Each structure stands twice: as C-alpha cells, then as structure tokens.
Amino acid sequence: MKLIAVTNGAMKEEVLSAVIQEVVSFVDAVILREKQKSAQAYLEFVKELLNAGVSREKLWIHDRADIAWLTGVDNLHLPEAGLPVEEVKKHFPFMKVGKSVHSLKSAHQAQNQGADYVMFGHVFPTASKQGLNARGIDQLKELTSTLHIPVIAIGGITSGRMGDISASGAEGAAVMSGIFNAATPLEAARQYQKEAVTNDSAL
C-alpha cells in the first residue's frame, strides 16, 4: 500500500525542508500543499528540494501546473475546485494528474476526465476538518469498488488504521498531521511505512 505525505502549510520553510529530506525515504511521495506561498516562493522551494537531492519522482506539486512544468516535476495533484483534469492533460499529456474528491459523483467525474487517481476524504474525523462529518470506510469501499483508477484515502488516518484502509481496496493512504504535526516526523513516517508494508503482505 502506498504512503503519501502531505505538507500542512504551517511549518517554517527551513524546518519543512529538513523534515521532507528526512521522511522522503519512508514514503512513496510528498505532496507540497503550501497554498500560502506565492508562486515565486513555491517555485524556489521546489528547486531547493531538488537541489538538496529529493527525487523528482517523489515530489507531487499541489495545484500549480505551471510550477510542475517549470521544475520538471511530472506529478500534479489538483484540489476538487481546481483546474479541470482534461484541460491539464490536454496541455501537459506527460503529467500524472490526480484530484481530491469528496463525493462519489466528483470521483467519477474526475475519472471520466482522465485523472490518473483520486484522493478521497476525509475518511475519519480529523482536527483539520472540524464540524464536517467524516465520509467513513463504507463510502471509501463503495468508491474503490466502482472506479477503475486508484483511490488514495485521506483524513484522520493513524498508523493503526492503515489496515482498514488496505482492506477497503484503496491503493494508498495520504497523511498530513500524522507525520508533519508529529513530535518526531521521522519516527512517525517509519511507523506508517511499517504498517503499509505489513498490510501489503497481508493481501
């Protein structure tokens, strides 16, 4: 099962850079969800990570197709209200493009537009979505059983819930606070990776 780390947009850049370089070996990808950054600051941050030796294949740009193109990072993750997948694919056919979705309808729409995967959530209650009902495992299972593209689950996923995510048919789990809000992000990433590998072997 894939493990995707998602930055929280709340860390100082030098700290975030160091944490990403620490955890990148233990995850399949890092989504740079830094919406507070200007285009220029985002571009420079991606370049900094690449210059520090972080693999292009493990970086996923959030929302900014232009920055993905300028940096040669061919993985783009779109928010649900972001650019249409089909438009991005038309101009950047070489990019792997995924989309966040919060309903079955949106998921099928993204698939029909050519998305390479969808990220569905929030599956479990999470502090970042206070007051909003979690979608739950049953909706996640319904999604994985009706789509023919990979589904990545997000939202309130602790390392102890990785087994439930795997059993749902999801291809992976995306984790934000569980890694980037942890007291020791490296140890948290290691624990998540251990559970991901364990649940792979259990399938």
Give catalytic residue positions.
122
Compute CA 142 distance to the chain's CA centroid, rounded to the nearest angstrom.
20
Rounded to two decimals, what is the model's pTM? 0.95
pLDDT digits (tens, 9 = 90+) for 76-102: 999 999 999 999 999 999 999 999 999
Predicted confidence band at 129 (pLDDT cuts at 50, 70, 90)? Answer: low
Q: What is the pLDDT of residues 4-48, one digit of tens each?
A: 999 999 999 999 999 999 999 999 999 999 999 999 999 999 999
Structure tokens at 131: 């007051």
Q: Contact 106/136 with Cβ under 8 angstroms?
A: no
